[in-house]
A = this chain, B = another copy of it.
Amino acid sequence: MGRLKEFDQDKAIDGAVDCFWARGYEATSVRDLAAHMGIGGASLYNAYGGKRALFVAALERYANRSSRERIARHEAAGQPRQAIEAFLAEIIDRSLKDRARKGCLLVNSALDVAPHDAEIGKVVAGYLEEIRAFFQRNIEAARRAGQVPRDIDAAGVSAHLLGILLGIRVLARTRPDRALLDSVVRPALDLLNVPAISKA
Q: Which residues of A contact B (CB under 8 A)?
A: 23-24, 26-27, 100-103, 107-108, 110-112, 114-116, 121, 124-125, 128-129, 153, 155-157, 159-160, 162-168, 170-171, 173-175, 180, 183-188, 191, 195, 197-198, 200
Contacts and interface: CB of A to CB of B under 8 A. Distances in A.
Contacts of A112: 24, 111-112
11 contacts: A100-B115, A110-B173, A111-B170, A114-B173, A128-B171, A155-B183, A165-B167, A166-B166, A187-B187, A187-B191, A197-B200
A156 B173 CA distance: 19
Would you call the interface of chain A mostly helix, strand, loop, or mixed? helix
B168 A163 contact: yes
B128 A115 contact: no
A184 B163 contact: yes
A121 B174 contact: yes
Nearest to A120: B174
